[in-house]
Structure formats: C-alpha cells, structure tokens
Amino acid sequence: MNSNLDALLEAAWGAGAARKLVTLMNVPPSIERFEAGIVTRAELAQALNMALFSDLLERVPTGRAYTDDVVREGARVQFDHGALRTVRWPHCGALPPGEAAFTRILKPLGYRLNGIYPLDRIKMTGRSYAHLDAPEHIAQFFVSELHPERFSPAFQEAVTNVVGSSVDALTPQAVAWLAELERDAALPLEEACALLPILVRCFDRQHIAPRVADYQTLLAESAEMAWIATEGNAFNHATDRVSDVFAVADAQRSLGRPIKERVEVSKSGRVKQTAFQADPVSRVFRGDDGTEVRREVPGSFYEFITRDTYSDGEGRVALDLGFDAGNATGIFKMTAAA
C-alpha cells in the first residue's frame, strides 16, 4: 500500500478507506512507487478519483450492486472516467462559470485537455481531460458545459435563479496549495491531506434547493439543466472500462438491471459505451410559499466503456482515449427520465 495514498484517503473518507477502495478498483502501477511524505500530482489525482468513485457508489445503488459483483468474482473495476456537468453562465454566484470552476483544479493535478465534443442536440459542449503522467491508468474527467443563451428567456431566468446562489467550496488556502502543486508537481503530505477534502467538496451541489417553478421551467427545455438544478456538480456518472461492453450489457440485462437498450458506438468504431438508467433520488424543493417539497428525480448513474487500440501512424499502438459526441449525447439520456 502506498502510504501517501492511504493517508490521503483517510483524510477525505475515513480510516481504512484506501484499503477498502483498492479492493474495488485498480490502482495505476506507477502509484506503487512513492516517496513517503511527498505527494505527487498523480497520487493526489488518483486519491481524488477514488474518493469521488466511492461517493458515487453511495448514491447509485445499481452501480454499487454491479461493483460488488465484480469484487465477488475476484476482479476490480478499471475506473475509466468520471463525468460532471456545469453551466457556462455569468450568473453563477461565487463560482467561476462553466468548466472554469474545475479546470482550476484539474490542471494543477496534472490533467490536460484531450478532446472537445460539441453536443449540439442538447446545447452543451463536452471536454475530456487526461492525466499527463498516466493517461491510460488514471481516470479521465469528462466535463460538460450547458449554454443557457441557446434557450428561451424564461429558461435563462430560471438558470440564474437556480445557480445564482452558488458558493465556492475552494478556499483561498486551497487555491494557494493548488498553485504550489502546479509549480512543483508535488505537495508535502500534510498540505495534500488538508487539500483533498476541500477538492472533494467542490464536486457537489453548491447552490440552494431550487424552486419547484424554476425546476419545471428548466425541465421543459433541458433535462440536463434540470438535473444540474438538483444534483449540481456531483459526478453525473462513473465508468468501468471493460473488455466487452456488449457481453456486460447482456449479463446485466439478464439480471434484470435497468441497462440501456443499445450500445453506443463511436464513428471510429473503437469506443463503445452503455449505461444503467439513473437511480432515482429524493430531493428537496422550495415551493412558492417558502415551504419545502420533496420530489423523486433522476440521480447519477453507472456507465461501461470498451476502448480498442489503434496505430498512431508511427508504428506505436495506443489505447483510444477519445470520446464521441454521438455516444455522449446518447449516454446523457440516462438522466432524462421524467
């Protein structure tokens, strides 16, 4: 066990968290080599991914059941990527608009832009970020931005009403630590352990409970924005990289789990994806009279992906770490239930 990773996850997720999580998911081989007391950007990125994966399993019972099955069979999940949704809008309270709220975290952690994907049918833009030090082994981030200016004035007003109350979980001290991390590609263990829980809190809903009327306005035009209204910047989904996504889909379907009817295949044919339907969650809304109202809405979900290899033109074979706009649009529908 990497003692740095152990300490980081204990700081964010409690005693014994690392030992529990390494039974669920693969850890990059490079993480096995470490310098005690000095946390590299790769170690901190891996710890963040593991904490966020664990958080998603707490909120997605179907994904938890699948992961438990994998462990019982003596295997581990290969965490491929986590996805989150943002709103590119000037009225986001204390938060920077859109993905800027997260690139200020991802870049110091060693992530760099790996692809841009116009999601025009749902009026969003997706961007993938891969880790410089171990791109095939440290999970990517798929960060999408919704563009309210492409919707009606009433929709835009509802967006402002919802996200305008956002607070910024990233403290000034955390910003300073991230600057140090970006400069040195490492942090002292004590600083890294203090930073990680703050980073985890950034992947949550930062605005107050939405008004029912605003939610209905958003839902009428964008299931994706309605989802952001209740779930915020939490992981929309986490993804297991599997060798045969078609076989996994058939197996999960035979167990009666709510998996997507068809597998999405990229234009290149090398990236294949499917997912469970989002698990429902109960969320609080504000009524017009100020009273609280509870409603069941779509929460997060669990995805599966198969990535094939390709030749880069110079004789080198690499795993295709790209995404596909069509695939992403299809997968996003997992949270579109009424």
Domain range summary for the chain, segments of one domain joined by +? 51-163+206-335
pLDDT of residue 337: 61
pLDDT of residue 77: 97
pLDDT of residue 20: 87
Task: Please name the residue that has the structure tokens 């994806």.
Answer: 273
From the list 184, 201, 190, 99, the residue with the least C-alpha distance to 141 is: 99
pLDDT in tens, the chain (338 residues): 799 999 999 998 888 888 888 899 999 999 989 999 999 999 999 999 999 999 999 999 999 999 999 999 999 999 999 999 999 999 999 999 999 999 999 999 999 999 999 999 999 999 999 999 999 999 999 999 999 999 999 999 999 999 999 999 999 999 999 999 999 999 999 999 999 999 999 999 999 999 999 999 999 999 999 999 999 999 999 999 999 999 999 999 999 999 999 999 999 999 999 999 999 999 999 998 889 999 999 999 999 999 999 987 777 899 999 999 999 999 998 998 64
What tokens were used for 119?
A: 């999601």
Query: Distance from first CA to last CA of the chain, Å, rounded?
Result: 44
Q: How far is CA 65 from the centre of its chain?
A: 19
Number of other residues whose CB lies within 10 A of the CB of residue 223: 17
How many whole angstroms separate alpha carbon 47 and alpha carbon 22? 11
Which contiguous run of DSSP H or E holds residue 183?
helix 172-184
From the list 51, 64, 68, the residue with the least C-alpha distance to 10 is: 51
How many whole angstroms separate alpha carbon 234 and alpha carbon 228? 9
> CB–CB of 112/90 below 8 Å?
no
From the list 119, 134, 123, the residue with the least C-alpha distance to 80 is: 134
> CB–CB of 151/222 below 8 Å?
yes
Number of other residues whose CB lies within 10 A of the CB of residue 318: 11
How many whole angstroms separate alpha carbon 251 and alpha carbon 245? 10
> CB–CB of 264/273 below 8 Å?
yes
Which contiguous run of DSSP H or E holds residue 35?
none
Radius of gyration of the chain from its Cα atoms, rounded to whole angstroms = 20
> CB–CB of 131/110 below 8 Å?
yes
How many whole angstroms separate alpha carbon 247 and alpha carbon 49? 26
For the entire predicted model, the pTM comes to 0.95
Rounded to whole angstroms, what are the CA distances from 143 to 15, 150, 168, 237, 241?
30, 19, 18, 11, 18
Q: How far is CA 129 from the centre of its chain?
A: 11
> CB–CB of 145/224 below 8 Å?
no
pLDDT of residue 338: 46
pLDDT of residue 288: 86
pLDDT of residue 15: 83
> CB–CB of 111/82 below 8 Å?
no
Structural domain 51-163+206-335, CATH architecture: Roll (3.10)
pLDDT of residue 309: 94
Q: Which amino acid is at 225?
A: M
Would you say the C-alpha torsion 280, 283, 287, 291 has a positive or negative sign? positive
Rounded to whole angstroms, what are the CA distances from 78 to 48, 241, 333?
15, 5, 23
Summarize the chain as % helix, strand, coil (round to 5). Answer: 40, 25, 35
